[in-house]
Structure 1
Amino acid sequence: MKIVLIGYMGSGKSSVGRVLADRIGSDYLDLDLEIQLNQSKTIPQIFKDQGEIYFRKIEAQLLRRVLCASGDLVLSSGGGTPCYAGNMDYMLQDESVRTVYLKCSLEVLTDRLWPEREERPLIVHLENKDLLNDFIRKHLFERSGYYLQAEQVINCDDLTPEQVALRIEETLL
């Protein structure tokens, strides 16, 4: 089985993914890290040098390659992964893939992302927390239709990565 964690940036996909993989004795991959290794550049560098369309193309290619590989896996996707290139449909059609949406409130995402914005190309330009909050609100509106297609939705606001991993484990395994 391959468990793919989806959700907005800052929702805890990487933290939960590592904990879950440890708990169930599975391999773990972070799709963003795989892209960086494949391209020998950071994601901000890819966005700056080649643009978002190029990034999304590479992201879709690597997602398919990773999901086609044999073996069990916990995969943390990028925040936009399910929203582009038919990626969500691809994941939902694969019987070996289970999708889990890590859902966080607008307030929690804003608080988590504000100190990290310099490392995130989509929000680096936002000058204050109110602008970040508006940006996230718009994105969540646009992306929620994709995210909510996941087989499991977990509200993560008041949960630790360990608690989220346990809920996934109890439901999917």
Structure 2
Amino acid sequence: MKTNIALIGFMGSGKSTAGQRLARRLGREFIELDRLIEQRAGDTIPEIFKERGESGFRDLEEAVIEEVSRSAKNAVIALGGGAVLRPVNVERLKASATLVYMETEVEVLQDRLARSRKRPLLDRPDRDRIIEELHEARRSVYETAADITVRTGRRPFAAVINEIIEKLVIDESRNR
């Protein structure tokens, strides 16, 4: 049975902030997958990328998703931007969670990520182009994986959270 809510979407789409607020509002545990990966590895994500490369990071991410999918109950989980790139991760998450795609326009992401130094995939001078290319490459993966889609953009988090809750209630009533 699906008792978890998993927020998916591009880096900078607001998954962590919305996830914390959604969990607080619903009285649920909040799990930030990237922080859990850092705890398991004993290192930061940029360091994991530096030492193990992207595929090494994705292997760690897959192991943590497997663990969280088995053990978490009634949690709100904020996933990293690339967590749904591996079909096995989507399959495991869907077994225990409703996947909510936090859809955000490229321009908004570029603004939000302009000064971030914690994103190894964006650690390049052509950051805006990389954001655009990655977003385009990943969008259909997010859309396919999602049970529910919520547009974020420049909307207040309260409005985004209200819409998530409203869509979750509608989705639950359809699945009864």
Fold match (TM-score > 0.5)? yes
Aligned residues: CA RMSD:
1.2
1:70 Cα deviation from its structure 2 partner:
4.5
Structure 1 residue runs of 4+, over 4 Å off?
A: none
Identity of aligned pairs, percent?
Answer: 33
Residues 21-170 of structure 1 correspond to what in structure 2 (within 5 A)?
21-84=23-86, 86-92=88-94, 94=95, 96-116=96-116, 118-125=117-124, 127=125, 131-149=126-144, 150-170=146-166
Q: Secondary structure of 1:101's match?
A: strand
The Cα shift of 1:90 comes to: 2.8
Conserved 8 A contact 1:20-1:74: yes
TM-score normalised over the length of structure 1:
0.91
The Cα of 1:51 is off from its aligned counterpart by 1.1
Deviations 1:53-81 (A, max 9, x none): 11101101101111111421000000000
Larger helix share, 1 or 2:
2
- Structure 1 portions without partners, runs of 5+: none
Aligned residues: 166
CA contact (8 A) 1:57 1:85 kept: no
The residue aligned with 2:174 is: none
Match of residue 172 from structure 2: none
1:88–1:146 contact (8 Å) kept in structure 2: no
